[in-house]
Amino acid sequence: MPLTLSAAEKLSADLTSFVRSLYDTEEFIPLHIPLLGVKEAKAVAGAIESGMISTVGPQVGEFEEKLKELTGAGYVVASVNGTAALHLALITADVKPGDEVITQALTFVATANAISYCGAEPVFLDVDRGTMSLCPDAVAAFLDENAERSDNGAVINKRSGRRIAACLPMHTNGHPGDMLRLAEVCAKWDLPLIEDAAEALGSFRDGKHAGRVGRVATLSFNGNKIISTGQGGAVITDDAELAGRIRHIAAVAKEQHPWRFQHDQIGYNYRLPALNAALGIAQLERLPAFLESKRILAQEYTKWFEAQGLEPVREPEGAKSNFWFNAFFTEGAKMRDAVLEATNKAGVMTRPFWDPMNTLRQYQHCHCDELTNTKWLFDRLINVPSTPRVPK
Ligand SMILES: *Cc1c(COP(=O)(O)O)cnc(C)c1O
């Protein structure tokens, strides 16, 4: 070790040893891994023994019931992954080829891709600096400047001539965004509000589970989410008719009949298999322990970041976040990259935010606003290991 360390070297070394102390290991520390133990093994073995491993197994319905209890949603449709859930939510919100859908530039690519699957174009607006989720003021400003009503009541973007079909915010890193304000903005224009709550299972704001303000929301149970079914997702809603349509097209739009194969529209093979649902039931039983462990971890990180003079990402006011990923801000992109480089080299996994969607080749042509907060956050944020500290 050289006698004088650069600020980046010092921070990286200190962060590495702090994370090692949190997890009490000298081995590689991943960002977030699924905790799969005896319970999960038994659940999957049970599904195998019953022979019901495909989408018709009873575990799918049981998993959906448990998600209803947790989220308070009237209806849950489990899907093969969170991206498929988004696709189902957008199709059933009547998002069509040539439409535009408002979303945030700061998100995982699945949010934008699901819009593209409908043949629609994302409009990338800025996030709020505090919640890191879609900024209600940015949406209001965009609509006030660009939107007008056509004779048939559709909301049209005057500049592009396209219909604005929906608004799709995402709860970044599991921290619930300000959906009540966003819902007011959307209501003014009668825009369906669809929440990408993929990262926010177990997060609450204003007494509601994330995803419970919009007409419909989606969840993900991918390998690095707070609970995992391997791959999996769900659509949640209070709208019975909508839930019925989602359930129908997610199962190849097959009509109910004792033996005939009749399909009344183009459907998708998007239902969650029972094997994965079995895993989900076992994981949901452990969610309270995961949440509690992650909250304590977040407190320890926050205390340490503050002691270093670093700004941690905090839970929004009025929210109880699942703290899916803990994160802090560096002074800028150079520092961010130096710390990412050194910590990953030292076997402690850290990650920046996703490259903002408007910078990706396939989305560069899409409309976006100034994205001031998006750029600020992207340049500075580092995600740190956040797996719950509970036994497998
Ligand atoms: C994980 C995630 C999804 C869905 O991902 P799947 O891997 O398809 O389950 C969607 N949006 C965001 C923001 C995510 O983090």
Per-residue burial over 119-154, b = 16 or more CB atoms within 10 Å of its CB, e = otherwise: ebbbbbbbbbeebbbbbbebbbebbeebbeeeeeee
Index of the ligand 1 atom closest to the CA of residue 170: 13
First to last CA, the chain: 37
CA of 177 to the centre of ligand 1 (A): 16
- What residues are in contact with ligand 1 under a 6 Å CB criterion? 81-83, 107-108, 110-111, 170, 196, 198-199, 220, 222, 233
Index of the ligand 1 atom closest to the CA of residue 114: 10
What global pTM score does this model have? 0.97
CA of 82 to the centre of ligand 1 (A): 5
CA of 83 to the centre of ligand 1 (A): 6
Index of the ligand 1 atom closest to the CA of residue 233: 9
Report which of 321, 388, 328, 316 is spatially closest to residue 352, judged by C-alpha positions. 328
Rounded Cα–Cα distance for residues 212 and 214 (Å): 6
Index of the ligand 1 atom closest to the CA of residue 84: 8
Index of the ligand 1 atom closest to the CA of residue 221: 9
CA of 117 to the centre of ligand 1 (A): 15
Instruction: Work out the burial of residue 51: count CB atoms within 10 Å of its CB; fewer than 13 is exposed, 13-18 middle, 19 or more buried.
Output: exposed
What is the separation of C-alpha 89 from the centre of its chain, rounded to a whole number of angstroms? Answer: 14
Residue nearest to atom 13 of ligand 1 (CA): 108
Residue nearest to atom 2 of ligand 1 (CA): 198
Which two three-digit tokens encode residue 61? 């319905």
Q: Report the pLDDT value the prediction gives residue 3, as an integer from 0 to 100.
A: 57
CA of 37 to the centre of ligand 1 (A): 24
Q: Report the pLDDT value the prediction gives residue 5, as an integer from 0 to 100.
A: 74
Substitution site in 132, 173, 220 for ligand 1 pocket (most atoms within 8 Å of beta carbon): 220
Output the CA torsion sign for 14, 19, 20, 24: positive
CA of 235 to the centre of ligand 1 (A): 12
Residue nearest to atom 7 of ligand 1 (CA): 222
CA angle 209–322–110, rounded 5-degree value: 80
**CB of 36 within 8 A of CB of 44?**
no
Index of the ligand 1 atom closest to the CA of residue 172: 13
Index of the ligand 1 atom closest to the CA of residue 218: 10
CA of 108 to the centre of ligand 1 (A): 7
CA of 329 to the centre of ligand 1 (A): 23
Q: Report the pLDDT value the prediction gives residue 2, as an integer from 0 to 100.
A: 53
CA of 220 to the centre of ligand 1 (A): 6
CA of 32 to the centre of ligand 1 (A): 14
Which two three-digit tokens encode residue 197? 């709550």
Q: Report the pLDDT value the prediction gives residue 56, as an integer from 0 to 100.
A: 86
Q: Please list the rounded mean pLDDT of every run of 10 residues in the chain (392 residues).
A: 78 98 98 96 94 90 98 98 98 98 98 98 98 98 97 95 98 98 98 98 96 98 97 98 98 95 97 97 98 98 98 96 98 97 98 98 98 98 98 90
